[in-house]
Amino acid sequence: MGDLIEVRALTRFFDLGGNQFVHAVDKLSLTIGEREIVGLVGESGSGKSTLGKTILGLYDKTDGEVIYRGGVLPQKYRPTDFQQLATKMQMIFQDPYSSLNPRMTVGEIIGEGLRLHFNISESDVKEQVVDWLQKVGLQADHMSRYPHEFSGGQRQRIGIARALILEPEFVVCDEPISALDVSVQAQVVNLLGELKETMGLTLLFIAHDLSMVRYVSDRMAVMYLGSLAELGKANDVYFNPKHPYTEVLVGSNPEPDPEFEKGRVSTSIQGEIPSPVNVQSGCRFANRCPKVLGVCREKTPELVPMKGEDRLVACHLVS
Amino acid sequence: MTANKEDTNVRPSLLIVEDLQVEFDTYGGTVQAVRGVNFSVDQGQTLAIVGESGCGKSVTVQSIMGLIPAPPGRIIAGSARLRGHEILGRKTVGGGEIRGAEIGMIFQDPMTSLNPTMKIGDQIAEPLKVHRGYSARNASLEAVRLLELSRIPEASKRARQYPFEFSGGMLQRAMIAMALSCKPSILIADEPTTALDVTIQAQILDLMLELQKETGMAIILITHDLGVVARMADEVAVMYAGKIVEYGSANDIFYRSAHPYTVGLKEAMPTNDPARQHELKPISGSPPDLFAPPAGCGYCSRCPYAMQICSESPPQNNGLHDHHSASCWLHHPRSGIKPDTLFFGDAL
Ligand SMILES: Nc1ncnc2c1ncn2[C@@H]1O[C@H](COP(=O)(O)OP(=O)(O)OP(=O)(O)O)[C@@H](O)[C@H]1O
Ligand SMILES: Nc1ncnc2c1ncn2[C@@H]1O[C@H](COP(=O)(O)OP(=O)(O)O)[C@@H](O)[C@H]1O
Ligand code: SF4
Ligand SMILES: [Mg+2]
Ligand SMILES: [Mg+2]
């Protein structure tokens, strides 16, 4: 499996003025193999969405680079870059309510990308829209309806059809199921899984729900305050976490099993994710880490391979 | 009324809700939001109400709290008795305030009940002065003590801050402090951790369990997260389309699931047992329209076990054992199906 995407020391800061910078993504490196699903987890504000958007060029890169099929993508996209790359890379958004234009019909929403990026006839657009409505489990006559007439799960399918009709290779799914009820989450997850198989998609799957990410992903990346704490096979990371932060995340994830839940000792940690403004050196997790060492506050641990394991961990205890 | 434990020899439940029915008038017609709900809660126990969005969880507890806006809302039937006294539609019971005093409540979004322009400490102190006759000084001291009780670091400094200076997790702690200020016998928590990260969720859930141990209060916890239910609940009410479709101990609900909807929910979720992986099985379709609820079982259109009778008449609540019960025709004594074969223990 070759790499489709290589993220090299990617950095994205937001300038708050007065020499204050949000270190939303900070020298982050990650490769995503062809037809692979990489799950990305981490607390709110850790930089997951910013990473996804920066990879896609929706944000300019402050530093570092993104390599796609061996070619370096522009640091700052021009309209023609979007024009070219939109058919290769797409994004599916969290909120199925606000990410669809309420004044456009479902047919217009799904077909918009085709009209914009390809020189094709209106009847061909229509044909493909109908095809995609069916692929995502909706009906042809839904084309002339408006988003508000659909349930959350259906709207998320519309968002999926809109992104995938362009037949991209790489899709960032930013919390595609967080706003949905449990019974509907499985519909969307299974749909993405099927489409991955039939279209050969590569996905960066961002979500809060660790159980779902483990289920969906080949590999799992754990993000904390702009950088990766751990990266490895999804099952390994979940069942045998190496980074103390991953341990805490997994330990906080409530499982639908009362005997297990009531028997387990609480692993909850004190404190909250610190502000990502002007981050200090040293391990970013040091002030909350239950296993913190002296060196952790001075030296920033690199994300390095663990001896004898197919795993990358950024922790002084491990390296 | 299998859900209520009056017929057993133990002392009567703290709160008993029977046949609660609530409607809302809207432009589109009348929404039958809650269609006959029964449950009870005991001291020191946690009841979780679980179900998908729109099934009537919030309306149920808002009715108990007297928070249904009328109009458009209307409680059309039912009773809610706190230590035997009717509280539906009343403000006081036995001379004491119900809202805030007997029953405290916290919400998913703490800002719905906080004043953005008032310091946190003052907001907690206010009801203590008004309802409890505290002096200004004592109310302020008590507010700080309550913030400490909710494990807010540097409580006296925090008490002088405004809500916007608090993170989501801290605001939820402040809400808990406020809800506990009058030592309620019941804490109602409506999706208290839905907007929070799992790490902060774990802190808030732990805090609720600790405070319950210290005070002996009952908790009614509304959530759509079965993991949270498993962690917190003694008893569970599974709600669907305005009714409780299954009721039982947490172990009954998870290991001896009786209602097809409960089974469907579990099959739609991934397990974290590597030895028992399964394909996710979504529940097809969507919940019924509560403007015109189905004549029969509310789950009928999505239920893989549905029979002719299910679409024609609503199933009664069938007792299974202890106080485990399910509203489903499969469990009707004359369905001819042996009850033992109808527990879906291996679904997970
Ligand atoms: N346009 C912006 N201007 C300034 N700061 C921003 C901007 N966008 C994001 N940030 C900040 O960058 C950090 C990372 O944000 P991001 O949205 O990537 O987090 P996330 O991991 O996706 O969180 P969530 O789980 O809440 O979606 C946060 O501190 C956020 O406040
Ligand atoms: N103020 C209101 N006006 C009209 N309909 C309402 C109102 N509050 C709730 N409802 C309706 O009542 C039903 C149950 O809602 P709710 O109890 O909030 O569901 P949930 O289980 O998600 O908490 C829904 O159909 C909802 O739209
Ligand atoms: S009553 Fe019938 S339709 Fe309803 S849950 Fe039971 S079997 Fe399914
Ligand atoms: Mg995000
Ligand atoms: Mg609600």
Distance A108 CA to ligand 3 centre (A): 39
Given pLDDT bands bounded at 50, 70 and 90, which one contains residue B30?
very high
Domain range annotation of chain A: 3-88+169-185+194-282, 103-167
Given 3-state DSSP classes, what are the helix, strand and coil percentages for chain B, each rounded to the nearest 5? Answer: 35, 25, 40
**Cβ contacts of A153 on chain B, cutoff 8 Å:** 286
Tell me what pLDDT residue B11 has.
67
With CB atoms and an 8 Å threshold, state whether A182 touches B52: yes
- CA dist B142 → B44, B126, B166 (Å): 24, 11, 20
Tell me what pLDDT residue B348 has.
37
Picking from A183, A258, A262, the nearest residue to B52 by CB comes out as A183
Residues A44-58 have a mean pLDDT of: 94
Q: How would you classify the pairing of strands A227-233 and A219-224?
A: antiparallel
Residues A7-33 have a mean pLDDT of: 94
Query: Distance, in angstroms, between A188 CA and closest chain B CA?
Result: 9
Burial class (CB in 10 A: 0-12, 13-18, 19+), A31: middle
Question: Edge-to-edge, what's the strand order for the sheet holding B29-41?
Answer: B29-41, B15-26, B73-82, B85-86
Shortest CA distance from A262: residue in chain B: B231
Site to probe by mutation for ligand 1, drawn from A11, A13, A14 as the one with most ligand atoms within 8 Å of Cβ, is: A14
A308-312, B77-81, B146-150, range with greatest mean pLDDT = B77-81
Tell me what pLDDT residue A216 has.
93
The predicted-structure confidence for B271-330, as pLDDT tens digits, reads as follows 877 766 678 998 988 888 888 999 999 999 999 999 999 999 999 999 998 889 999 999
Alpha-carbon distance of A98 to A82, in angstroms, equals 22
Element (H, E) at A291: none
> What mean pLDDT value characterizes chain B?
89
Alpha-carbon distance of A183 to A234, in angstroms, equals 23
Q: Looking at the CA of B34, name the nearest ligand.
A: 2
Given pLDDT bands bounded at 50, 70 and 90, which one contains residue A298?
very high
Least-confidence region, from A78-82, B156-160, B213-217, B272-276:
B272-276
The predicted-structure confidence for A214-235, as pLDDT tens digits, reads as follows 999 999 999 999 999 999 999 9
Given pLDDT bands bounded at 50, 70 and 90, which one contains residue B33?
very high
With CB atoms and an 8 Å threshold, state whether A268 touches B348: no
Question: Edge-to-edge, what's the strand order for the sheet holding A304-305?
Answer: A89-92, A170-174, A202-206, A37-41, A219-224, A227-233, A311-313, A304-305
DSSP class of residue A315? -
Tell me what pLDDT residue A188 has.
86
Distance B290 CA to ligand 1 centre (A): 38
Whether the pLDDT of residue B123 is over 60: the answer is: yes
With CB atoms and an 8 Å threshold, state whether A182 touches B265: yes
What is the rounded (10 degree) CA torsion for A86, A207, B108, B230? 150
Distance B229 CA to ligand 3 centre (A): 23
Amino acid at A72: V
Least-confidence region, from A32-46, A78-92, A145-159, B268-282:
B268-282
Whether the pLDDT of residue A181 is over 80: the answer is: yes
Tell me what pLDDT residue B252 has.
95
Amino acid at A198: T
> Which residues 6+ apart lie within 8 Å of B39 measured at CB?
B3, B4, B17, B47, B49, B237, B244, B247
Whether the pLDDT of residue B270 is over 80: the answer is: yes
Whether the pLDDT of residue A132 is over 70: the answer is: yes
For the Cβ of B298 lying below 6 angstroms from any atom of ligand 3, the answer is no
**Cβ contacts of A261 on chain B, cutoff 8 Å:** 227, 230-231
Percent of chain B scored above 90 by pLDDT? 64
Best mutation target among B158, B165, B272 (most A Cβ atoms within 10 Å) is B272
Given pLDDT bands bounded at 50, 70 and 90, which one contains residue B6?
very low
Tell me what pLDDT residue A102 has.
92
Tell me what pLDDT residue B1 has.
40
Least-confidence region, from A191-195, A277-281, B54-58, B248-252:
A277-281
For the Cβ of A52 lying below 6 angstroms from any atom of ligand 1, the answer is no
Closest by Cα among A318, A94, A312, A316 to A221: A312
Shortest CA distance from A138: residue in chain B: B285
Which pTM was predicted?
A: 0.89
Residues B27-39 have a mean pLDDT of: 93
Burial class (CB in 10 A: 0-12, 13-18, 19+), A35: middle
Tell me what pLDDT residue B311 has.
96
Burial class (CB in 10 A: 0-12, 13-18, 19+), A74: middle
With CB atoms and an 8 Å threshold, state whether B206 touches A208: no
Instruction: Write down the CATH number for the domain with range A3-88+169-185+194-282.
Output: 3.40.50.300
Closest-CA residue, ligand 2 atom 25, reads B54
Alpha-carbon distance of B39 to A182, in angstroms, equals 24
Tell me what pLDDT residue A179 has.
78
Whether the pLDDT of residue A156 is over 60: the answer is: yes
Alpha-carbon distance of B247 to B49, in angstroms, equals 9
Q: How would you classify the pairing of strands A3-17 and A89-92?
A: unpaired
Alpha-carbon distance of A305 to A318, in angstroms, equals 9
Tell me what pLDDT residue B340 has.
60
Given pLDDT bands bounded at 50, 70 and 90, which one contains residue B15?
very high
Least-confidence region, from A56-60, A213-217, B9-13, B90-94:
B9-13
Distance B57 CA to ligand 5 centre (A): 6
ipTM, 2 decimals? 0.87
Q: What are phi and psi of A82, to 5 degrees?
A: -60, -45
The predicted-structure confidence for B48-73, as pLDDT tens digits, reads as follows 999 988 899 999 999 999 999 989 99
Residues A3-7 have a mean pLDDT of: 96
Residues B36-53 have a mean pLDDT of: 95
Least-confidence region, from A241-255, B190-204, B236-250:
B190-204
Given pLDDT bands bounded at 50, 70 and 90, which one contains residue B41?
very high
> What mean pLDDT value characterizes chain A?
92
Q: How would you classify the pairing of strands A37-41 and A63-68?
A: unpaired
Alpha-carbon distance of A125 to A166, in angstroms, equals 11
The predicted-structure confidence for A232-254, as pLDDT tens digits, reads as follows 999 999 999 999 999 999 999 99
Picking from B254, B264, B271, the nearest residue to A258 by CB comes out as B254
Distance B54 CA to ligand 2 centre (A): 6
Q: Which residue has the higher pLDDT, A262 or A273?
A: A262
Tell me what pLDDT residue B344 has.
66
Residues B230-251 have a mean pLDDT of: 97
Tell me what pLDDT residue B2 has.
43
Q: Looking at the CA of A17, name the nearest ligand.
A: 1
For the Cβ of A24 lying below 6 angstroms from any atom of ligand 1, the answer is yes
Percent of chain B scored above 70 by pLDDT? 92
Tell me what pLDDT residue A138 has.
86
